[in-house]
Amino acid sequence: MDLKQNYFQLFSIPVAFDVDLFVIKAAYRELQRNLHPDRFANSTANEKLLSMQASSLVNEAKDVLQSPVRRAAYLLELQGHPVDFETNIAMSPDFLMEQMELREALDELKSSSEPEKSLHSFTQRIGQQMDDFIIEFKSLFNDYLCKIEQGEQSALLESTEMVVRKMQFMNKLQIEAGKIEEDLFD
């Protein structure tokens, strides 16, 4: 196995945002069946090391490809434009204000008279926003690829990166809402 393959090549799927999660799961199982370190217990130290590296790469690839946010960021990385979630935090004031309002609404859910109903409404709202950001990402990214194919320079990657960072915000809200849901139904 070539450890320098990109994650899409590793799973033998086209480089694209839209992926078939069932294909990824099946390819993951097949790769792990062949590469898992347990299969190399009686092998040389070098073969064990290569197995561990390959297995780790397969795990990381699966995690990235299954997550819309991480997959979008990875597509930008493959274009030479990595998304820096840690230090590049510049966002529009309107978006940041909306995020503050969403976080406040999430906090208020716990004390709502009907928390399950409020949570359902909240998760639908942020789910719709995530879907909208995904549509926007795919449009911008496809426009970028078309311009590059035509030999044109494109500044669309910066706009596309901004959408990925917005997706990251929404993903965090979805995770937090999921935790509240677990607490409500425990």
Question: Rounded to an integer, what distance in angstroms lies between the CA atom of residue 168 and that of residue 25?
Answer: 23
Close Cβ partners of 1 (under 8 Å, ≥ 6 residues apart): 10, 31, 35, 54
CATH number for region 93-184: 1.20.1280.20
**CA 33, 38, 41, 45 torsion: positive or negative?**
positive
- Fold agreement (7-66, 93-184): no
Q: What values do phi and psi take at 2, rounded to 5?
A: -85, 110
Per-domain residue ranges for the chain?
7-66, 93-184
Q: pLDDT tens, position by position, for the chain (186 residues)?
A: 677 899 999 999 999 999 999 999 999 999 998 887 777 887 888 888 888 888 899 999 999 999 999 999 999 999 999 898 777 777 889 999 999 999 999 888 878 888 889 999 999 999 999 999 999 999 999 999 998 888 777 778 889 999 999 999 999 999 999 998 888 777
Question: Rounded to an integer, what distance in angstroms lies between the CA atom of residue 165 and that of residue 178?
Answer: 20
**CA 63, 100, 97, 117 torsion: positive or negative?**
positive
| Residues 123-141: b if buried by 16+ CB within 10 A, e if exposed | beebeebbeebbebbbebb
Question: Rounded to an integer, what distance in angstroms lies between the CA atom of residue 118 and that of residue 186?
Answer: 17
**Residue ranges of the alpha helices (H) in 67-114?**
68-78, 93-109
* Closest to 121 in 3D by CA, of 135, 134, 139, 102: 102
Q: What values do phi and psi take at 45, rounded to 5?
A: -60, -40
Q: Which CATH superfamily is domain 7-66 in?
A: DnaJ domain (1.10.287.110)
